[in-house]
Amino acid sequence: APWYVVPANKKWYRDLVISTVLVDTLKNLDMRYPAPKDDLSKVVIE
């Protein structure tokens, strides 16, 4: 697990660094919805 040095002198900059690291980490996970197991093309919603 990588470590990040986050300066805490300015709260707005600390929050920016943390949110940037989180967004980049979540994007790198490349998460996707799983494919449905059943054929949903015949489902009718009224």
Per-residue pLDDT at 1 exceeds 90: no
pLDDT of residue 19: 97
Per-residue pLDDT at 39 exceeds 90: no
- 33 in helix, strand or coil? coil
pLDDT of residue 3: 93
Question: How far apart are the C-alpha atoms of 28 and 35, rounded to whole Å?
Answer: 20
**Worst-scoring range by mean pLDDT, 2-6, 12-16, 26-30, 33-37?**
33-37
Per-residue pLDDT at 43 exceeds 90: no
